[in-house]
Chains A and B, each alone.
Chain A
Amino acid sequence: MKRVENVLREHRYQRSHIIQILQDIQVEFNYLPKEALEYVSQRLKIPLSKIYSIATFYAGFSLNPRGKHLCTVCMGTACYVRGAAAILNEFERKLNIKPGATTKEMNYSLETVNCLGCCAIGPIVVYDGKYIGEFKLKDIGRILKGRA
């Protein structure tokens, strides 16, 4: 809770900063824990239903714990026609999870995104915040091996 309190203090307990606050909490915990949201609701006097509404509205927020590493595959139209489906398939096979899930040992989370706005370098995979353009199937093994 101390970490949440720090985030709130940074934003000077401004209710209008709720989205940034949630983003910072997500950076802090890698996801949005229920207790943290309840605490924010209590401190800022924003109904919990409202915070939950925001957290479920934006695809960027996760309410479930995520793994150490996050692989996000862009499934936007441009990436899709350049083979994003095959990349996602390969990720699913290698990690043995569906998009939106986390591997059992909490190492990897797999997510999809609808467009990242850099279609020119597609297909794109974002690995731990790093954008890897012109992604190839063989890159999967490389990144998973390199860090796993």
Chain B
Amino acid sequence: MIKITINKKEILAKRGETVLEVAQRQGIYIPTLCYHKDLVPYGGCRLCIVEVKGWSVPVASCTLPVQDGMVVKTDTPRLKKLRRFSLQLILSEHPHACLICDKEEECVQYQECIAKSAVTFGCKFCARNGDCELQELVEKLGIKEIPFEFSYRNLEIEKFDPFFERDYNLCVLCGRCVRMCQEVRGAGILDFQHRGPETLVGTAYNLSHLEAGCQFCGACVDVCPTGALRDRYSKWLGSPQRSVKTTCALCNIGCSININVRANTVVSSTPDNNQICVRGRFGIAPLVHHPKRIISPMLRKGERLVEVEWEEAFDFVCSKVVEHKGKTGILFSPQLTIEAINSVYGLADHLKCEKLATTSALETNLKPLDLKGFRGNLVFVIVNTDMISDFSPLLLKLRSPQKIKPVFIVIDAVDSKLTQIVDLWLRPELGKEVDVLKLLFAQKKMKNTTAVSTRDIKLGKDLLKKKNIYLLYNPYNIENITVPKYVKKIPLTAKINTLKIIDMGVDSPTMDLLQDKNIDCLYLLGTAPKLNWKYKTIIVQDCFPPQFRFDLFLPTATFAEVNGSVVNIEGKIKRIRKAIEPLGKSKSDDWIIAQISKRLNHNTKNRKPKKRKTIISAIAKTKKVSEKYPIHLIVRENGYSYRGHRLATLMKGFERLRGDNCVWLNNRTAKKSKIKDGAEIKIIGRTLNLVMPARVTEDVPENSVLVYYHPSMGAVNSQPVRITKKDKQR
């Protein structure tokens, strides 16, 4: 411990801490702009300058390590003057008219509508008004005027990317977004471009963020002290009145998030001192308030769907369920709360329902992931899983600074953002991923038929030597993985609660349930699979209407509107808290099921649901392509869906970013079959027939197409297919 003196107060500090950190811990205010607690100090803005006894000039405290016996002053008239001068210089390039306006208070009554102006030339026109660090600094430093000429950059506002907009006329070049993108996210999409007065934050060659390969995690938006970067959805919804700490249920990581609420509206969702991904940052608010959501019970009467009260809906459910007792199949989404899943099991037991299934990809040997168990010399071998798209917060944790830098090896035939940043990317021929693994771990010489060069295999072998090896893979994307015992297998399932479901057991995988001809009544909780034939009764309990004909729709609340819990990939139980009251007449899943159970005279509370035996259908072995079916279909699990609804079909941004409602096609294959980007194409295989819009890409290997699995496709697995253009409708 070291003793230092700040403003005549003696403080104990740890070696290696900076003066700013010590002062902030003690509650001594030092103004900062470019400093951010998650980032490496930068010393750019010079607002945090302090005087040190014995030093002739003030120094930036964010980059000043504490020394024994240091005597620091943070608040002298000289420092105040210098700080004011620095901020005035910074503000001379930022539209500051409102910041120094003496009529500011009178203006409040007129500001409601002008906030919607297209160009921001003052705080009153800015979406961040009231939540801006510059405003705070101006107030704290007491700036009344700016003696320099205002220079407006007059740049176009960048509105062409999904999720967030950028107005670099407001940027003060603090570099937080740049450092966030490089240091913390490891993406490096942003950097300072050009020099001197022309310096700007931007991507290489001024590409759009989408072209530059941005993940749209929104970390840059969250650290921006100004209104330069802003979330498009929440832009004009007003500043939030409260925020609720909860858990994102969109994937298996279950990140802690804050849902920001104004009145009964979700304005935005932001990370809770952690790193999240695009789904949790930009997906939740538009999902909750999606225009396609149905928020009152709908009953089919004759041909028409009629809005009904809950009572009538429950009567219908009870009568049908009793009528089809033993012939009811229940299919539920893993993205319910644990409480809802428990009550589903209780109801299924009561109905003597032998058919209970879920839409999640499962593996029986699923174990909780132990993040603290990763120690020492680490190598991660990632097979057929795009960790950046599906598990980016987890990947960041794995990459986070350890004593020895972990090594990442990717085995995947499909290119992705992940392959660009890993140490070694082995790109085998399709279906030869397992062979590459065998080669990597082989003791003796083996014949190499994988299209990966022997040199690369040797490189991989060298990287694997004497290290703790972990194999990360999504069990849905690859089958029959065999590795030596010293390699730890870590299956990564994309959907939350899979550990819970494995624990409880399910009777059959989704598709077997839908093949069962004995079922007359389908009860679908948050899934919209492809139905093979007509059922007597279909009850849908969901947020969004399915594509097929149904008899009753029970509107449920999303995870932002209920209390409950979920269990994530680490086996941790995470709380879900109610951020807003359920919209309209929608109710939580557990309430609906409890009401049904009550009417069926079944008490869900005290009884433990019986355990079921999980049967996992074997995935058919990939067959070789033939003349009739010359193209490989690659199917990957889709982590971008909520309750069986693709985020891409619900939100335009996700469609542009990920396009999981499309079929991804190699550009040369597309040229050969004369298919243009965006055209509808047919995919015909031995057992499937799909029509989807095409997206042309270089990421997919030649003579193969990639789709993200969705229950509405029916039973789809990787198989040879042929593709044709969809006939024009006459």
Contact = CB atoms under 8 A, between A and B. Distances in A.
Interface of B: prevailing SS: mixed
A52 B182 contact: no
Interface string A45-77: 111111111001111000000000000000000
B192 interface: yes
A52 B193 contact: yes
A49 B181 CA distance: 11
A45 B425 CA distance: 12
B205 A45 contact: no
A45 B421 contact: yes
Contacts of A6: none
A48 B181 CA distance: 13
Nearest to A38: B204
B205 to A, nearest CB: 6
A50 B188 contact: yes
B191 A53 contact: yes
B420 A52 contact: no
Contact of A56 (B190, B194, B212): B194
6 contacts: A37-B204, A49-B191, A50-B191, A52-B205, A56-B195, A57-B192
B249 interface: no
B580 interface: no
Nearest to B202: A49
Contacts of A51: 204
Contacts of A45: 420-421
A20 interface: no
B422 to A, nearest CB: 9
Given A53-B192, A53-B193, A56-B195, A47 B187 contact: yes
Interface residues of B, number: 17
Interface of B: 182, 187-195, 202-205, 212, 420-421
A107 interface: no
Contacts of A49: 188-191, 193, 202-204, 212
Instruction: Classify chain A's interface size.
Output: 10 to 19
Looking at B191, B202, B203, B212, the one whose CB has the most chain A CB atoms below 10 A away is: B191
Q: Which 10 A-B pairs have the closest CB atoms?
A: A47-B188, A52-B204, A49-B191, A53-B191, A48-B204, A49-B204, A56-B194, A57-B195, A56-B193, A50-B191
A37 to B, nearest CB: 8
B182 A47 contact: yes
B212 A48 contact: yes
A51 to B, nearest CB: 7
Nearest to B182: A47
Contact of B189 (A46, A47, A57): A47
Given A34-B205, A47-B189, A49-B204, A57 B182 contact: no
A106 B422 CA distance: 41
Contacts of A34: 205
B653 to A, nearest CB: 22
B494 to A, nearest CB: 27
Nearest to B195: A57
Contacts of B205: 34, 48, 52
A42 interface: yes
A42 B191 CA distance: 17
Given A49-B191, A56-B194, A42 B204 contact: no
A51 B191 CA distance: 9
Contacts of A52: 191, 193, 203-205
Interface in A3-46: 34, 37, 42, 45-46
A58 B193 CA distance: 11
A36 B103 CA distance: 55
Contacts of A58: 195
Contact of A57 (B194, B212, B420, B421): B194
Nearest to A41: B204
Contacts of A46: 188
A49 B204 CA distance: 4
A50 B202 CA distance: 10
Contacts of B193: 49, 52-53, 56
